[in-house]
Amino acid sequence: MQIYDQIVEAIASGKLEEGTTLPSARRLAVDLGINFHTVNKAYNLLRERGFLIMNRKKMFVVQKSKDEKFIENLKNLEEKLINEAIAKGMSENEILSILKNVLKKTKKGDSL
Amino acid sequence: MQIYDQIVEAIASGKLEEGTTLPSARRLAVDLGINFHTVNKAYNLLRERGFLIMNRKKMFVVQKSKDEKFIENLKNLEEKLINEAIAKGMSENEILSILKNVLKKTKKGDSL
Amino acid sequence: MQIYDQIVEAIASGKLEEGTTLPSARRLAVDLGINFHTVNKAYNLLRERGFLIMNRKKMFVVQKSKDEKFIENLKNLEEKLINEAIAKGMSENEILSILKNVLKKTKKGDSL
Amino acid sequence: MQIYDQIVEAIASGKLEEGTTLPSARRLAVDLGINFHTVNKAYNLLRERGFLIMNRKKMFVVQKSKDEKFIENLKNLEEKLINEAIAKGMSENEILSILKNVLKKTKKGDSL
DNA sequence: GTGGTCTAGACCACC
DNA sequence: GTGGTCTAGACCACA
C-alpha cells in the first residue's frame, strides 16, 4: 500500500504524467530493495482501480480515467469520514475549511 | 466495523445525543444476535477514537470532543482520497462539488 | 482458476449451498496437495466477484448475489461468444439450441 | 485481441462477407498505426480458429465454417458463464432472457 | 526482457 | 486457529 500511495501521489502531483511508462516491477523492486511480488501486487491494484493500464509491450502506463465506480466509492468513503467529523462535534464550516485546505495543498503540488 | 459505523452515524445524525448512555455490550450483543466480544471491541474502538467515554458505572457514554489527533488523521485520510481523485483526472471544482454534496446530505440527516 | 471454476460449479450445482462455510484456505490447500497461496488467491477472486463473503470469524462463506456489474459483464462476454458463432455461419436457431442445451444440462445438475 | 474482436464482429454483422480478401497485415498495420506483428498475430489467430483461410497469394480471406472443435469450445465457455450466472442465484428464465436479448441484438446488427 | 503463476516459509493482527 | 502480507525462487508464455 505504501507503493500504491506513492504512485497515486506522484500521478496527482504531476510527477507522473498520463502516458508515462513505469519501470518494470522487477526493476523497481531492485531499486527499492523490496520483493518483485510486492511491486507487482501494487501495480496490479493500481490497474484494477484504473490508475494504470498495460500496453502492448506488457508495461504499465499511467492513465487518467474517472469512472462511475470510483466516484461512487469516493462518495461512500467521504460520507464515513464526514460522519465521524460531525459526530466529533465539528461544524459544517469547520469541516469544509479543512477539506478546502487539503484540496488546495494537494492541488498546489499539482502545478509543480 | 459495521457496529462502529452505525454508532458514529447515529451520533452524527443526532439520534444519539451527547451524554446518552449506550446499552451494555452484553445487552446489545444479545439484541443484535452477535458475539459479546464483537460489540465490546466496537465500543472500545469508539472510546479510543474519542466518540465514547466510560462513566463511573463502567457504562459507555456518548461524548463530542474534537481532538488534534482526530483532525490530523482526518487530514491524512482526506489527502489520500483527494490524491486519488486528482490522479483520476478530476478537477478541483468537481471534487469540491462532490465534497459539498456529501457534506450537505450528511448534515441534512443531522437535523432529523 | 481451476479451483475457482470448481467452486463456482459446486455452488451452481447446489453442492455448496448459500451460507456454507468453506474449509480454510490452509486446510483446503493441504487436502488438495497444493499451496496455501493458490487457494487463498482463488478464494479472494471469488470474493471479489461476489460468490463468497467473509464472516466475522474470517471464514469464507457462500453467498448468492446477482449484481449489476456481473450482469453487464455477462452480456459483454455472451456478445463476444455469440458474435463468433454467427461469424462461423451458425444460424440463430442453432445457437439458441446450443444455449438451451447447456442451460438445461447445468440446471439439471442443480437439482441433484 | 481488439483487432481479433473487431474482425469477428465485422464478419458476424455482415460487413465482411465470406470470400472477402482482407488487407495485408502490413497494410492494415500502417492504417491503424500499430505494429505489423500485432496484426499478423491477430490474423493468424483468426485463421487458427477458422475465421480466415490463406489463399494462393498468401492473403487472408474470410471463411464461414462451423467445425466441431469450435462448437465444443463454445459449449465449454457457455457452461462456465452459465454456471456463474446460476451460482449468482439467477433463474433459468432470467438467464435465457438475457441470452435471447444478446442474440437478438447481435443478429439485428447482422442485417445492417 | 516482460508480467503471471505456483510453490514455500515466515511473521503479523485478529478472534 | 484464521486470513493478510512480504520475502524468495522457479518456471511459463509472450514479444
**Cell (9 digits) for C14:** 447446489
| Residue B75 C-beta-side C-alpha neighbours within 13 Å | 15
**Cell (9 digits) for B99:** 465534497
- Look at residue D108 in the predicted model and tell me its pLDDT: 65
Chain C neighbours among B 18-37 (CB < 8 Å)? 34-35
- Look at residue A79 in the predicted model and tell me its pLDDT: 92
Q: How many CB pairs under 8 A join A and D?
A: 3
**Cell (9 digits) for C42:** 482463488
DSSP string, D8-48: HHHHHHTSS-TTPBPPPHHHHHHHHTS-HHHHHHHHHHHHH
Nucleotides of F under 7 A from a protein CB: 1-10, 14-15
- Whether residue C75 has pLDDT greater than 90: yes
Q: Between A107 and A65, name the one with better pLDDT.
A: A65
Smallest CA–CA separation between D25 and chain C, in Å? 20
The dihedral region occupied by D23, where left means phi > 0, alpha psi between -120 and 50, and beta the remainder, is beta
CA distance A49 to B84: 10
**Cell (9 digits) for C37:** 497461496
- Look at residue D49 in the predicted model and tell me its pLDDT: 86
Residue bearing cell 481479433 = D4
Residue of chain A whose alpha carbon sits nearest to that of D38 = A56
Determine contact, residues B17/A86, Cβ cutoff 8 Å. Answer: no
The average confidence (pLDDT) of chain C is 91
pTM: 0.82
- Whether residue D5 has pLDDT greater than 90: no
Tens-digit pLDDT profile for residues C38-64 = 999 999 999 999 999 998 788 999 999
- Look at residue D110 in the predicted model and tell me its pLDDT: 56
Query: Nearest nucleotide (C1') to the CA of residue A29?
Result: F7
- Whether residue C111 has pLDDT greater than 60: no
Strand F contact with C43 (CB < 7 A)? yes
SS3 D74: helix
CA distance C40 to C52: 12
CA of B1 to C1' of E10 (A): 29
Strand E contact with B64 (CB < 7 A)? no
Strand F contact with A48 (CB < 7 A)? no
Q: Which residues of C touch B35 (CB under 8 A)?
A: 56
CA of C35 to C1' of F8 (A): 15
Strand F contact with D49 (CB < 7 A)? no
- Look at residue B3 in the predicted model and tell me its pLDDT: 85
State the pairing for strand pair C60-62/C52-54.
Answer: antiparallel
CA distance B7 to B65: 15
Residue of chain A whose alpha carbon sits nearest to that of B2 = A80
CA of C111 to C1' of F6 (A): 44
SS3 A85: helix
CA of B62 to C1' of E8 (A): 49
| Whether C51 and D87 lie within 8 Å, measured CB to CB | yes
pLDDT tier, D109 (very low <50, low <70, confident <90, very high otherwise): low
Strand E contact with A3 (CB < 7 A)? no
| Nearest to D86, CA basis, from C76, C2, C105 | C105
pLDDT tier, C37 (very low <50, low <70, confident <90, very high otherwise): very high
H or E, element range at A92: helix A92-111
H or E, element range at D60: strand D60-62
H or E, element range at B53: strand B52-54
Q: Chains that contact A by 3+ CB pairs under 8 Å? A: B, D
Q: Is B71 on the interface with A (CB under 8 A)?
A: yes
Tens-digit pLDDT profile for residues C78-102 = 998 999 999 999 999 999 999 999 9
| Nearest to A42, CA basis, from A68, A16, A64, A60 | A60
Q: Which residues of A touch B110 (CB under 8 A)?
A: 86
| Whether B78 and A102 lie within 8 Å, measured CB to CB | yes
Q: Is C56 on the interface with B (CB under 8 A)?
A: yes
Regarding chains D and B, contact by 3 or more CB pairs under 8 A is answered as: no
> How many C-beta atoms surround the C-beta of residue D29 within 10 A?
18
- Whether residue D111 has pLDDT greater than 60: no
